Structure 1
């Protein structure tokens, strides 16, 4: 039961039927507009004073007048020493959750002024997200840093505590105490909502950034390190009431806190050296502020979806704003993962994993599968091993940006791990280079059961910049199948990244493995990319094609029309057999169409036409043979002396006529080649793609171009059908996907 429900049950508060107004029952039934966000902060502070700190109802005054010289001001909450309310003890100043740093400093000054004027010993300033506690010393009423406390005293305590948070203190994370329960000395860490976690991450980042003191990239790195320290500290075994290390202690020099947090970091880094290589570089003052935002949150126990979405929301807004990175929308990631029938035994890879969206959803899918096999509580060890072994041993990711790769690892750690096999490297390197660069032997060609990926679109790999272009067959120009003599393939000067990633994914898959990939529609429609489609048809069985709406990526900053392909890798021998069938089909078409003979006939016709001087002169009647010093008989007999032929060929009219003549024959050759190419494509579709392909058009995928929910998602309806379709064909091919 949460605090508000507990308070309503106990008769401390009530709400209007529409929830707009809040009534404090024991304070004159005072009515407050609950649409005002500051009122929610004040209610939370009031209920904490009652239930967490143990102060009696008669000790607490709401909206209490405070005499400030000649004027009277109103303090949000004043707590008195006893029920007689003779002597103020604590002043509470409440602000809305999104209060800025400067506004919060002003709130601290305001609380101090109330405390000094009323004679209160302590001050608590809260926005819900941010809390600061002070002892207002009579000999130093303007002092701030030295007067700061980790917490205010509980009822009956004479002195403030040395620390606030300890293992199994007052609260379980879900329930408030009843009046019959004793008030415990310390607080337990609390689960936070997605919105609250997101807010705290952003506040912490803005503090580190400091409006330019650190660049946003460095600030993000430092925040990553501190989140890592927070999680690592939570995992440290503790006795009841033993304090957490990641928090501010009473009368502690910020340098001591910095030293303690660095100790946590070093301990964690030894067990996960691949996550962070650089030291913490923050000042003690900056670190203390960020610890204040995060110290009370239980990142380990917070709902997996909530904390994951909070971190991803922060990641997405940060990277999109500062790096121009466009991550795959959640609806598309969820759809692709739901379509694929992988299990905890499957090896899963994302060759361009970004912040880890596909990996996280794959992990969550296996975690949910564990629910079908084991009871979460009675078989906790087996349940944990089922999904955690998958996360540790079967889940792999490659990301070219070291910083985004580190963010992906942190994302995995926040989701209860699975970061071990996420590496920072160019996903187009060979498997040997990836293993050498990362020290991870798991990145081997022909090993993975499933690949889920959204490769970068539109980037161009140049041969002069990246020597690895020669490692890809699609890095070479395609041979003209119609040529009479096969020519060696020439290397391309450039190739798009999405095309190379499709070939790289093929290399990583085992025979029978399945690739789910987001691609720009140009690969499916552009005539210049027919060679790519031909190669895909030889290497894969095309299982599913789902066309996404034009707006699928607009809200994430990209507007390319895209589709999702699901492809199953043929064994090498099957691909070679397909390739041989294709060659035989092509030779048959060349013979049936008598293509080379037709080309030769066109060549002969062009040569004869270019010697038909009579046709030339007929095309230019104003240009007579006499003008050129030629006899009509010589022209008609096509018996021009060499000197006169050169004279004729030097005229502008002749050059124009010859070009027009050549263009006409070139057009005939192109038309002949296009007709033959079309006949080839029809034959290939009929003879090589003679199987069912699941094709679908998703018109609405849950959000519009601005990211606003639409209330409809075609992908949710398609996913179960596609899953059954893919599962059927996987089992029907005898692949080794389910070991």
Structure 2
């Protein structure tokens, strides 16, 4: 395009998504920008229909409405022709606020003769009203699920069809999850964690309903049902039937008990269903789903055992570098929210999708329902056979299962266990389920020498001096739990028979992951830098070199895990040596000589307070570049087809993690590494 020049953003400003004007970067503005993107990308309103900060005449007052929308054919965008008004507030402002709450919105709607719809939101709460006149000619405001989309179809607001489900855009799914969770927390008297798990049940129902092709969708609540007690009971009965189907599925038996039920009040359930029903949770972009889900999980289930969830950009970098194959068995031994597994599975699904497109001779968009179901069955089978996650926290196990279900149904092998325990002390359920998934006899899982099951491990183990491992039965399994002595003359280390009194968990996890890998298997593991550099831990590095080929080390910026943890970390990529390789090296007395890929990630896209950081020009100003992913449109052709014009601009995240995999892939080819 001709106008792809870089635009500089003044300090403290943002570029408005709709009109391109610079506005102050405030919490309220963040809410408005997210809503603007939803209006255009989900509701399909044209730019020419939307006005920002529109001045209203209300007696002697001239307030400005945040967003107003006109009919697309409106030639005079006057106050009397406004169809929709939207007011956006920062999170701290409540809907009942006398000055800035929903009453302000209703006053604005009343002052606009033909305004039929209004929406008020603060990012956590959303209220939608339709203005009508009763039999006496008086104005009334009816609660509605949502404002209508550009086509004006009200039926889809109440009961969406499969063809009208929308893919969430930007942070709107995160807004919706927060809104639902906040509603449960406030209205049902549940604490954060129980409120989260009730929301989880409803999300399961939503996904189950979407998968029930080709039957009509049953996950819905009409505006009328949401607004009266009888309707709310009807919704609860309808969703409870779906939840019964969920519970009866074998793959969900470790998530829900047979007598489990949705404990939300009918009023809350109807509200949450109405908020979720318009989206397709199956088809929404994985990054949007992942960000929304993992952020709400982290806010509600973060524990105190060194659980610092890995940023999504780092997980994506690690998975792309480790490059799991379609038939490889993948494990995250400390799965947390499941982000590593979801990324790994998505990486492989993209490969599988390309295979299917070649076999069928057509792009995915043209597949039949039968082909789509066959593809989903193949993904489910792959997930059941090849994807595994362990975590000691039972709540995180449930959360990971949900994340996998939401991202292509990989829920089968997420298991709760303290995986550092001796294998013969693993619970019978854990050993039975693991053996069944691996297709082996449970009795084969005897000790730490008989657990070489996985081709690929991607993980971020809990780390920290506050949670040391002191149990002798655990420590005895690990060479790295022994006392090692250093020969200062040769600068070599020798393991003694004595055990250390306590060992940080991340050291044991390195060795446990090695034990879990098949010979030749590879891992990407996040570790504190002291393991790689502290003089007193030289024995760990010697052990690593003896047992692995060190493929790569990527040094992460100190802010990577901020604001909760300032530990300096790196990602270490290792390939387990075969016994033959180790024997040959021991016989020759020399280690194989090879190159190691080294990289430093100095920018991770956020600062120590977790605020996003963006690239700047030489003067320190943020810059804008063309947004190639934007679907924003200005007008239509004579045939009614949308035409992309008005090139959208976006800030550029100051993040180097996406650059590393491509550089690594080029290096790997030169080194002759085939995976």
* Same-fold call, TM cutoff 0.5: yes
1:503 partner SS: helix
Aligned to 2:21: 20
Aligned to 2:641: none
Segment of structure 1 superposing worse, 702-711 or 451-460: 702-711
The structure 2 residue matched to 1:715, chosen from 655, 660, 663, is: 660
Per the alignment, do residues 698 and 544 of structure 1 end up closer, same or farther by CA in structure 2, a change over 3 Å counting? same
CA contact (8 A) 1:96 1:127 kept: yes
CA distance in structure 2 between the aligned counterparts of 1:475 and 1:322, rounded to whole angstroms = 23
CA contact (8 A) 2:316 2:343 kept: yes
More helix by share: 1
CA contact (8 A) 1:366 1:387 kept: no
1:257 partner SS: helix
Per the alignment, do residues 519 and 696 of structure 1 end up closer, same or farther by CA in structure 2, a change over 3 Å counting? same
CA distance in structure 2 between the aligned counterparts of 1:532 and 1:366, rounded to whole angstroms = 32
Kindly report the root-mean-square deviation, in angstroms, between the aligned alpha carbons of the 2 structures.
4.9
CA distance in structure 2 between the aligned counterparts of 1:44 and 1:290, rounded to whole angstroms = 19
1:45-92: CA deviations, max 9, x gaps?
A: 89999989xxxx9xxxx988778xx99999998999xx9xxxx99985
| 1:166 matched to 2:160 | yes
Per the alignment, do residues 74 and 468 of structure 1 end up closer, same or farther by CA in structure 2, a change over 3 Å counting? closer
The structure 1 residue matched to 2:242, chosen from 242, 256, 264, is: 264
The structure 2 residue matched to 1:475, chosen from 477, 481, 505, is: 481
Aligned to 1:698: 600
2:95 partner SS: helix
Per the alignment, do residues 514 and 231 of structure 1 end up closer, same or farther by CA in structure 2, a change over 3 Å counting? same
- C-alpha displacement at 1:410, in angstroms? 1.7
- C-alpha displacement at 1:102, in angstroms? 2.6
1:98-125: CA deviations, max 9, x gaps?
A: 5667336765445666788999997644
1:329-373: CA deviations, max 9, x gaps?
A: 333322222222431011111111211222122112112222442
Larger Rg: 1
Per the alignment, do residues 45 and 702 of structure 1 end up closer, same or farther by CA in structure 2, a change over 3 Å counting? closer
Per the alignment, do residues 322 and 195 of structure 1 end up closer, same or farther by CA in structure 2, a change over 3 Å counting? farther
Per the alignment, do residues 502 and 17 of structure 1 end up closer, same or farther by CA in structure 2, a change over 3 Å counting? closer
| 1:250 matched to 2:224 | yes
Per the alignment, do residues 355 and 74 of structure 1 end up closer, same or farther by CA in structure 2, a change over 3 Å counting? closer
2:343 partner SS: helix
Per the alignment, do residues 556 and 411 of structure 1 end up closer, same or farther by CA in structure 2, a change over 3 Å counting? farther
CA contact (8 A) 1:165 1:189 kept: no
Aligned to 1:325: 307
Per the alignment, do residues 481 and 437 of structure 1 end up closer, same or farther by CA in structure 2, a change over 3 Å counting? farther
CA distance in structure 1 between the aligned counterparts of 2:39 and 2:329, rounded to whole angstroms = 49
The structure 1 residue matched to 2:522, chosen from 507, 514, 518, is: 514
- C-alpha displacement at 1:216, in angstroms? 2.1
- C-alpha displacement at 1:424, in angstroms? 2.2
CA contact (8 A) 1:327 1:556 kept: no
Aligned to 2:274: 292
Count of aligned pairs: 558
1:188-227 correspondence to structure 2 within 5 Å: 188-210=164-186, 213-227=189-203
Aligned to 1:688: 590
Aligned to 2:3: none
- C-alpha displacement at 1:725, in angstroms? 6.1
1:500 partner SS: helix
CA distance in structure 2 between the aligned counterparts of 1:480 and 1:702, rounded to whole angstroms = 37
- C-alpha displacement at 1:196, in angstroms? 1.0
The structure 1 residue matched to 2:388, chosen from 381, 388, 396, is: 396
CA contact (8 A) 2:524 2:574 kept: yes
Per the alignment, do residues 154 and 501 of structure 1 end up closer, same or farther by CA in structure 2, a change over 3 Å counting? closer
CA contact (8 A) 2:96 2:102 kept: yes
Aligned to 2:638: none
1:489 partner SS: strand
CA distance in structure 2 between the aligned counterparts of 1:204 and 1:487, rounded to whole angstroms = 55
CA contact (8 A) 1:335 1:719 kept: no
1:103 partner SS: coil
Aligned to 2:321: 339
CA distance in structure 2 between the aligned counterparts of 1:470 and 1:109, rounded to whole angstroms = 67
Per the alignment, do residues 565 and 150 of structure 1 end up closer, same or farther by CA in structure 2, a change over 3 Å counting? closer
Aligned to 1:273: 253
| 1:724 matched to 2:669 | yes
Per the alignment, do residues 348 and 282 of structure 1 end up closer, same or farther by CA in structure 2, a change over 3 Å counting? same
1:385-434: CA deviations, max 9, x gaps?
A: 66543323211111222222222222222222212111222231344554
| 1:561 matched to 2:584 | no
1:250 partner SS: helix
Aligned to 1:369: 351
CA contact (8 A) 1:233 1:245 kept: yes
Per the alignment, do residues 74 and 725 of structure 1 end up closer, same or farther by CA in structure 2, a change over 3 Å counting? closer
Per the alignment, do residues 435 and 448 of structure 1 end up closer, same or farther by CA in structure 2, a change over 3 Å counting? farther
CA contact (8 A) 2:185 2:191 kept: yes
Gaps in structure 1 of 5+ consecutive residues = 1-14, 22-33, 173-187, 582-685, 732-739
- C-alpha displacement at 1:702, in angstroms? 4.1
CA contact (8 A) 2:558 2:569 kept: no
1:445-485: CA deviations, max 9, x gaps?
A: 11111111121112566666574333333333347899xxx
Per the alignment, do residues 92 and 308 of structure 1 end up closer, same or farther by CA in structure 2, a change over 3 Å counting? same
1:95 partner SS: strand
CA distance in structure 2 between the aligned counterparts of 1:231 and 1:369, rounded to whole angstroms = 24
| 1:422 matched to 2:414 | yes
CA contact (8 A) 1:229 1:265 kept: yes
Segment of structure 1 superposing worse, 515-524 or 448-457: 515-524
- C-alpha displacement at 1:694, in angstroms? 0.8
| 1:529 matched to 2:527 | no
Segment of structure 1 superposing worse, 561-570 or 709-718: 709-718
Per the alignment, do residues 150 and 274 of structure 1 end up closer, same or farther by CA in structure 2, a change over 3 Å counting? same
| 1:230 matched to 2:132 | no
Aligned to 1:456: 462
Aligned to 1:405: 397
CA distance in structure 1 between the aligned counterparts of 2:560 and 2:347, rounded to whole angstroms = 24
Aligned to 2:623: none
CA contact (8 A) 2:83 2:117 kept: yes
Q: Under a length normalisation based on structure 2, what TM-score does the superposition of the two structures give?
A: 0.68
| 1:132 matched to 2:128 | yes
CA contact (8 A) 2:455 2:517 kept: yes
1:479-518 correspondence to structure 2 within 5 Å: 489-518=497-526
Per the alignment, do residues 294 and 151 of structure 1 end up closer, same or farther by CA in structure 2, a change over 3 Å counting? closer
1:7-44: CA deviations, max 9, x gaps?
A: xxxxxxxx9997339xxxxxxxxxxxx98976996998
CA distance in structure 2 between the aligned counterparts of 1:724 and 1:47, rounded to whole angstroms = 40
CA distance in structure 1 between the aligned counterparts of 2:554 and 2:113, rounded to whole angstroms = 69
CA distance in structure 2 between the aligned counterparts of 1:248 and 1:434, rounded to whole angstroms = 48
Per the alignment, do residues 363 and 461 of structure 1 end up closer, same or farther by CA in structure 2, a change over 3 Å counting? same
Aligned to 1:544: 551
